[in-house]
Structure 1
Amino acid sequence: MKCPGFISVHVFRQVLAATATSLHSLSAGTVFGHSAVLLPQLKEDQTILYDAAYDSWIASISPLSMVLGCLIAGSIIDRFGRRVGLIFFSIPFVLGWIVMGLSCNVNLLLLGRAVTGVSTGAFRPMSIVYISEVSDPKHRSMLLVSTSLSTNIGILLCHSVGVYLYWKTAIIVFCVPILLAVVILLCLKESPLWLITKGKSDEGCVNFYWFRAKTEAADNELKAVLNKQKNKSQDLNIKDIFKVILSKAFLVPLAICFVIFTEVQFCGTHVLNFYALYLIKSTFSDNVDSFLLMMIIDALRLFGTETNGKTLQEIENSLNKEKQLGSSIHGKENHQDLPFEQSKL
């Protein structure tokens, strides 16, 4: 079955799931970029008692609370589900923006920033897990890249809107994407893999084919998941857990990710997000348009993410073609090795 136009209904549902998680990532981007446009306005706002000594706290309270969000996200989505977890953390995210919009002092402003930071920290791991579990492998890489792309779009949106609108008015705009994401998630189904791991195999299979077309590749993937779950030990002791944690298969990817993300943090990209206007104004002369330069930097970041996504897709397509070609050649060689009478049959 195909949607009106060009794609199958199953691909459309996967794209819809990616759209919801991308809106979560876009909302997270607004938190990253908010302090850059908020701090200059606070200095001139007469409706709130503010001291410039709080600048560093306004900028850093959200990233600090993101750590908490990352730590609790795993247990929440493991217990209640990926889709439910995303909807659940959307509630404090909106409440955090509301607290900021109604704030009349720095303490409430910091509280709102902290609450939105917790949700932001949870959104990324939850989004990646949900997309990974509902998407077809051939579309998965591009759908996963959409989360990073959307975060950068969120930063660009925040910087654009935040400069032209009063900061309390801009907060209303920043609540819209997350509300749209919740509406979309309410129309989608829970992750089939999570349902299977919780012993709800029948419902998990129904959800699996709701997202994926019933093909031979999908059947094989589902059988592999069901067999793995069937053979999985129900009672993991401390020894088994440490065996997994200390295994090479776990430590090597962990070390690679740790090094990459550490380099990203130390390259200064997030510092630029939080203090963009300040850094540009203090670095360049007054003749330079700080806002325009900030927009150019955001656009370059967006372009880099998009290029990275297309590059990864091309690499994946090339590897898949080589794999198929190798299988085809191997099959022909095996056919040629058969006796003449047998190959004739």
Structure 2
Amino acid sequence: MDSSILAKAYVEREASKNIEENERECFKDAIVSSRSLNKGFTEPVKLKTALPEIIACIIAASFHIAVGISMAYSAILVPHLEAEDAEVHATRTETSWITSVIVVCAPVGALVSGFLMETLGRLKTLQIGAIPYVAGWILIALSQNVPMLLIGRIFTGLATVLAISPAIVYITEVARPELRGSMISFGPTLASFGMVLSYVKGAYIHWRIVAWLSIIYALVPGILIQLCIPESPVWLVSKGRIDEARKSLEWLYKSEMTHGKVSAAEAQFTQIMKENAIKLSELRKSKHGNWSTKMRSFLKPTGWKPMAILFLFFSFQQFSGIYITLFYAVTWFQEVGAGVDEYVASIFVGVTRFLCSMVNTWLLRRYKRRALCIISSLGMTACMVVSGYFTLMIKNGDRSGYWVPVLCLLLYVCTSMIGMLTIPWTMTAELFPTEIRGVAHSISYSMANLLMFAALQSYRSLQSFLGGSYAVQWFFAGVSLSATVFVWLLLPETHGKKLSEIEEYFHNNFLAVGAESRAKKLRAKRRAEQKANAAATEPLHPKPLQNV
């Protein structure tokens, strides 16, 4: 009798633990998805009904064109500044600062953007971001010395962060789940398009005129936001502006059919109100010791492991030359000595990146992250090895393969877009548990930009230290090959994984090698324990006596 009572108590305790765990997971999923709309719709998306959402997302994402223009501008500016007859002459050290200073503003911009988004709203933050953007380009266009150029680049760099974060958040909160991934990926595609525009204008127009024209790409989206689209209903509800939230939803779903007696807008309003109540309840529960709890969470395996992995991942990404070749595209072709028109070649680089960014969305949906990153880094390795060899041949006077470095760089851009350029940015949020996801995302994003700054700053020094462009390309090849080993050893697979499964992975693993087999053994062990528990309960439920 005592053993059966103990067994029953054990089973009840385990069941209670399982129920609590399930409740926690459900609550996490609710919080994670608290900014999503249209959960209630299971019908296929029709263009006509989703058109207002698509328009709103495209207008918000259009600020990414300005981001791409700012990033690529250094590629067309640096050759003019380093020329002997330059209007504004700059040394190689000064041009490295002009190139890289745009990304060093990211940590400050991320903090300012987060505060403004929560205080003033998503769209107002986007519009405010246009102010330093316009001011920066005016300074660049009128610059008479290097300090003016540097300050102008700092302003445009701050504006890019103020534009990217609120645009992504707005799209996340407005687009229905079926459209959200495509709409978010549309932003980087527009940034690639902005790079193409910058390269094209730089090939045919004076750099000062390019600066003046760049102002348009912030003013037009700012005006369209003011005139055409509503603020995020999720943010409006969180601020208690209920009537404005209703109007926003009515605009977003004005083409949606009524479901039963309740309109689509009303159904979404009810859903958002429920999710906001859940969020407020969680905030009240975690108010006491909230920040100290978050800081302690970084010391847990689910905190420090993903942070360490992301640091290494971004280090390999930046020093493999991905962003260096984009920021120094024109200079890169000059130093290779292929003899082609470097400005036209840079246009091909921008077009290649733009086209590959559209293909990348499909790849990320279909294939696993680890496989994509390994293929990407191996492809980058091969391209830089071959390119470095032919660059050395050109340097030694053999120009028979002068076109090979150009082709290799285009293939290098293609292979980088498969995984190494894009996937690290997608992991800045999904690797961390719910309680620290927001803070951890900001930290990892800032860390990535500081590493980008270090990589861009190091380019000139690497050339001097290693002895030329060919050696730098081989250095990039070595880093890319090391990235392959890193991905195989440490990078966890997140494709198709629930956020709770990723969190559990870091509880039990650090090395990715053999993680799947260990997970299978753990699942088998749990099934065996469950069977043993079920067997322990059998005496508690005796079969009824059969009638003789």
Structure showing greater Rg: 2
Shift of 1:227: 3.5
| Structure 1 pair 264–192 and aligned structure 2 pair: CA distance change class (3 A) | farther
Any stretches of 5+ residues in structure 2 without a counterpart?
A: 1-45, 257-262, 368-495, 497-548
Q: Which residue of 1 is the match for residue 105 of structure 2?
A: 65
Corresponding position of 2:128: 88
- Match status 1:231 vs 2:281: yes
Q: CA deviation at 1:162?
A: 1.2
Question: Number of paired residues?
Answer: 311
| Among 220, 236, 249, the residue aligned to 1:208 | 249
Structure 1 position 120, deviation (Å):
0.9
Query: Which one-letter code corresponds to 1:210 in the other structure?
Result: W
Percent identity of paired positions between Structure 1 and Structure 2: 25
Amino acid at match of 2:342: S
TM-score computed with the length of structure 1 as normaliser: 0.79
Give the structure 1 partner of residue 118 of structure 2. 78
Q: Deviations over 1:93-146 (max 9, x none)?
A: 111101111111111111101111111122211111011111111111110001
Choose from 211, 216, 220 the match for 1:171.
211
Instruction: Kindly indicate whether the alpha-carbon contact (under 8 Å) linking 2:237 and 2:273 is maintained by their aligned counterparts in 1.
Output: no
Q: Residue 327 of structure 2 aligns to a residue in which SS?
A: helix
Q: Give the residue type in structure 1 aligned to 2:321.
A: G
Q: Which residue of 2 aligns with 1:41?
A: 80
Aligned match of 1:332? none
Q: Structure 2 matches for 1:1-345, cutoff 5 A?
A: 7-8=47-48, 11-44=50-83, 46-187=86-227, 188-212=229-253, 213=256, 214-215=263-264, 218=268, 221-229=271-279, 231-234=281-284, 237=287, 239-243=289-293, 246=297, 251=303, 261-286=314-339, 288-312=340-364
Deviation for aligned residue 1:312: 4.5
Which amino acid in 2 is paired with 1:21? A
| Alpha carbons 1:30, 1:154 under 8 Å: kept | yes
Check whether the contact 2:196–2:347 (CA below 8 A) recurs between aligned residues.
yes
Match of 2:545 in 1: none
Deviation at 1:90, TM superposition (A): 0.7
Shift of 1:311: 3.7
**1:37/1:277 contact within 8 Å kept:** yes
Distance of 1:66 and 1:211 partners within structure 2: 32
- TM-score normalised by the chain length of structure 2: 0.52
Query: What SS does structure 1 have at the residue aligned with 2:231?
Result: coil
Poorly superposed stretches of 4+, deviation over 6 Å:
247-250, 252-257
Residues 75 and 330 in structure 2, CA contact (< 8 A), matched pair in contact too:
yes
Q: Distance in 2 between matches of 1:182 and 1:34?
A: 21
C-alpha distance in 1, partners of 2:245/2:275?
11
Equivalent pair of 1:35/1:274 in contact (CA under 8 Å): yes
Q: In 2, distance between residues paired with 1:27 and 1:249?
A: 39
Compared CA separation, residues 170 and 250, structure 1 to 2 (3 A): farther
Contact persistence 1:142–1:313 (CA under 8 A): no
User: Offset of 1:259 from its aligned partner?
Assistant: 6.0
* Cα distance in 1 for residues equivalent to 2:302 and 2:61: 28
Quickly say closer, same or farther: Cα 1:159–1:57, change in 2 above 3 A: same
Counterpart amino acid of residue 24 in structure 1? F
Question: For residues 238 and 295 of structure 1, do their structure 2 counterparts lie closer, same or farther at Cα, with a shift above 3 Å needed?
Answer: farther
Q: Does the CA-based 8 Å contact 1:155-1:298 persist in structure 2?
A: yes
Q: Shift of residue 52 of structure 1?
A: 4.1
Report the Cα distance in structure 1 between the residues aligned to 2:277 and 2:52, rounded to whole angstroms. 26
State which drifts further: 164-173 or 274-283. Answer: 274-283
Shift of 1:19: 2.1
RMSD: 3.0
CA deviation profile, 1:291-319 (whole Å, cap 9, x unmatched): 3332222222222210122344668xxx9
Output the CA distance in 1 between the equivalents of 2:79 and 2:288. Answer: 52
Aligned counterparts of 1:268 and 1:29: Cα–Cα separation in 2: 18
List per-residue Cα deviations over 1:231-280 (Å, max 9, x = no partner): 34458535234445628898488777666555433332211121111112
